[in-house]
Amino acid sequence: MIDWHIVLGAFGGGLALTCWLESRHRWQQFQPGLARWLQGTAVVLICLAASSFLYAAANPPWQQAAPRPNMRETADTLPLPAATSLAPPSVFIMATPVPTRATTTNTVPDVSYLHIPALGVSQPIVDLPLENGRWDVSSLGENVGRLGSTGAYPGDTLAPVFAGHMTFPASATLETGAFANLQYATYGTELIYEHNGERTVYTVTEISRVPPEEVEHLYLADGNSILLVTCTDWDANGRVYANRLLVRAVRTN
C-alpha cells in the first residue's frame, strides 16, 4: 500500500535540498536577494516534508480504515470476512412488516422473464409469497422475484413489483445478484416483461431512494407500471444497505 504522505515528504525534502544548494551558488554569484529567497523556500519545504513524515508515522496505512466500497465493487465476487454469517440477507426487503391487504392472489405465469438489455439483465421470474409480513428471499439467488400481494401481470389492479439482489452470499463469496447494475438505470431505459411468450415493453420514468421502513412505496395502483427494487447505499460501518433503490417503468406497448 502506497502512503502518499511519505512520497510527498520525500519529494519536498529533495526540493528543499535543491533550493538550499542553489542559494549557496547565488551567494557566490553575489546575488544575495535571490539567495535569501531560495533559503526561505527551502525552510518552508523542510517544514512541509517534516509534517508529512510525522503524519505518516502517526497514521500508518495498515491501521487506517478500509475505504467504503461502492456499488460497482460490491457487484464483483468478493471474499467474505470469516466472522460474517453466510445466511442469505434480506437484501431488498423493507424493514417494516407489510400490512394485510385485500389484493390479487394471482401468481406469475410458469414461464416469465425480465429483460433489461442496457443493463445486461435477462433472468427468470419466481414468486416470493408474503408470509407473516415478510418476503422470503433465501432461495432467490440470481433470479428476479415478484413480491406477493403486488400486481401479478400487466393491467392488474396494482403494479407488479420485481425484486433482486445487489449481491448475495454463496459459500465463502459474495455473488452478483440480478439487480447489481440497476443503479445504472436512467430515464428512458427499456425493460421487457416476458410472460408465456408475450412481451410487454416498459421505459423507466422514475428513480428514487426510499428508507427500508417505507413499505407503502411498493404498492402502486397502476397496472400499466412495474416497479423494480433492490438495495443501495452500502454502509461499511453497519455492514448493511441503508436504503432501497426503487425504479418505476411505464408500459409503452
Q: How far is CA 206 from the centre of its chain?
A: 18
**pLDDT, tens digit (0-9, with 9 covering 90-100), for 89-128:** 344 455 555 554 444 444 444 678 999 999 999 999 998 8
CB 130 within 8 A of CB 147: yes
- CA pair distance 55, 58, nearest whole angstrom: 5
**pLDDT, tens digit (0-9, with 9 covering 90-100), for 58-83:** 665 544 433 333 333 333 333 333 33
Greatest distance between any 2 Cα atoms in the chain: 96
Under 8 Å CB-to-CB from 83, ≥6 apart: which residues? none
Phi, psi of 191 (to 5 degrees): -120, 145
Topology of 71-251 in CATH?
A: Sortase; Chain: A; (2.40.260)
Q: What is the pLDDT of residue 60?
A: 57
**pLDDT, tens digit (0-9, with 9 covering 90-100), for 179-228:** 989 999 999 999 999 988 899 999 999 999 998 888 889 999 999 999 99
C-alpha cell, 38: 531560495
